[in-house]
Amino acid sequence: MTIQSNAEQKKKGRAHIIVVGNEKGGSGKSTSAMHIVVSLLDRGNSVAIIDLDARQKSLARYIENRQAYADQHNLKLTMPDVHVLESSGGGTAQNSEEQDEVNLSALLADLQSKSDYILIDCPGSNTHLSRLAHVSADTLITPVNDSFVDIDLLAKVNSDTYQVDKLSLYSEMVWEARKMRAMKDRGTIDWIVMRNRTSSLNSKNTQRVHDVLTQLQKRVAFRYVPGFGERVIYRELFPKGLTLVDFNNNGHQKMTMSHVAARQEIRRLMDALKLPGWNKVPVAAAE
- Contact 114/46 with Cβ under 8 angstroms? yes
Kindly tell me which residue out of 6, 10, 19, 31 binds ligand ATP, with binding defined by CB under 6 A. Answer: 31
Applying CB under 5 A, does 127 fall inside the site for Mg ion? no
Binding-residue pattern over the window 48 to 87 for Mg ion, x denoting contact by CB under 5 A: ----------x-----------------------------
178 binds, among Mg ion, ligand ATP, none (CB under 5 to 8 A by kind): none
Which residue type does 280 have?
Answer: K
d(CA 38, CA 244): 9
Would you say 30 or 88 has its CB closer to ligand ATP? 30
State in angstroms the smallest separation of the CB of 124 from Mg ion.
6
CB neighbour class for 54 (10 Å; exposed up to 12, middle 13-18, buried from 19): middle
Kindly tell me which residue out of 196, 270, 275, 276 binds ligand ATP, with binding defined by CB under 6 A. Answer: 196
Applying CB under 6 A, does 29 fall inside the site for ligand ATP? yes
264-270's contacts with Cβ under 8 Å and 24+ in sequence apart are 265/226, 265/227, 265/228, 265/229, 266/35, 266/39, 266/228, 267/39, 268/226, 269/32, 269/35, 269/36, 269/194, 269/225, 269/226, 269/227, 269/228, 270/36, 270/39
- Contact 269/194 with Cβ under 8 angstroms? yes
Would you say 26 or 277 has its CB closer to ligand ATP? 26
187 binds, among ligand ATP, Mg ion, none (CB under 5 to 8 A by kind): none
- SS3 of residue 127 by DSSP: coil
Kindly tell me which residue out of 6, 15, 19, 30 binds ligand ATP, with binding defined by CB under 6 A. Answer: 30
Contacts of 161 (CB under 8 A, 6+ apart): none
Would you say 123 or 276 has its CB closer to ligand ATP? 123
State in angstroms the smallest separation of the CB of 85 from ligand ATP.
15
Would you say 215 or 253 has its CB closer to ligand ATP? 253
Q: Is the dihedral of CA 138, 45, 263, 279 positive or negative?
A: positive
Binding residues for ligand ATP (CB under 6 A): 25-31, 53, 56, 58, 123-124, 196-197, 228, 230-231, 234-235
Summarize as ranges the residues that interact with Mg ion (CB under 5 A).
Answer: 29-30, 58
